[in-house]
Structure 1
């Protein structure tokens, strides 16, 4: 029996047109500030940080994510400007909407209760939704220069997240392994006549 462990994380990925524009910002950081790390995954908002799963447990993981997603509503997402976790990370800021905060909290609880997946670090600090454009390999010097350039830069995108994405690490980069549609229909309001 193959006991190989695979690395996953769960995230919201923007639609292709926005993904392309965020990719261009990430490439800019790679070219101008020698920070390539963010290019190792599609632009995303992490809901569940990386965790390991045995290959044989992946079908159960996928089934659980399907069961979680199928009863959820799509989520409005707003990307607005840039922010930073000094002195290493620059990101596109994501507005903390009640819907986004709720699905994050519910997903973490669900994964812990159903699959025993727990991220102790994120349990001990508040959820800051973000879309990384430069991190880890961004030097402190380059961070300061880049932050001067991006701190006041405006950026605004809105989209509806209609799926959760399970991303799998292939040894060098993260790829979308499977999408789980947020399939619930919004409640219909019937006007009594």
Structure 2
């Protein structure tokens, strides 16, 4: 068994920007957890899946992605899940909310993947830059610095990404293109 999750990854220049912010949090606030995955917007939270059945998992995600349109994603400023997590704010658009809801329904009905926690609360799209290893004291120090910071990016999400945990960090396993 391995752990996987499904996400949208921004283009390289936005990943580099987000990685620089993650490094800043590591250097200044001793928060390293966000560095264990590439910058991403989680659509399907982590789940366990048998390694022998990965081809079935990938085929199902490919089938889902092949019926999706590319979507415009807007990143605007920073937000937080106090008292530990700071993230790049992802603007909640109807197309993004629909994609996430449709994906969760699809993987539940086709693969039996169910995330009870995600089902019990509204989807809050975000791109984490300081993770739960940020102490409450460091959160209180860092949040005023980022609360008013300007950040504006827009990109087109053209595929889904399956990530697998290798025991230390999350690695890109495969990508699945949306409709052209």
TM over 0.5: yes
- Equivalent position to 1:21, from 17, 20, 25: 17
* 1:57 corresponding residue in structure 2: 53
Alignment of 1:4-43 (within 5 A): 5-43=1-39
Deviation per CA, 1:121-144: give whole Å up to 9, x if none.
000000000000001110000001
Q: Quote how far apart the aligned CAs of 1:71 are.
A: 1.0
Aligned counterpart, 1:85 = 81
User: Corresponding residue for 1:99?
Assistant: 95
Q: Does 1:123 align with 2:119?
A: yes
CA distance in 1: counterparts of 2:159 and 2:18, whole angstroms: 19
Unmatched 5+ residue regions in structure 2?
Answer: none
- Tell me, which stretches of 5 or more residues in structure 1 are unaligned? 186-193
- SS of 1:9's equivalent in the other structure is strand
Larger Rg belongs to: 1
Q: Secondary structure at the match of 1:126?
A: coil
Q: State whether structure 2 residue 174 is matched by structure 1 residue 181.
A: no
Q: What is the CA distance between 1:63 and its match in structure 2?
A: 0.2
User: What is the aligned length?
Assistant: 180
Query: What is the distance in 2 between the residues matched to 1:58 and 1:110?
Result: 16
CA deviation vs aligned residue, 1:17-67 (integer Å, no higher than 9, x gap): 110000000000000000000000000000000000001111100000000
- Which whole-Å deviations, capped at 9, do the CAs of 1:57-114 have from their partners, x for residues lacking one? 1110000000000011011000000000000100000000111000000000000000
TM-score between both structures, scaled by the size of structure 2: 0.99
Aligned counterpart, 1:188: none
TM-score by length of 1: 0.92
Deviation at 1:169, TM superposition (A): 0.3
Secondary structure at the aligned position of 1:153 is classed as coil
RMSD: 0.6
Alignment partner, residue 133 of structure 1: 129
> The residue matched to 1:172 in structure 2 has which SS?
coil
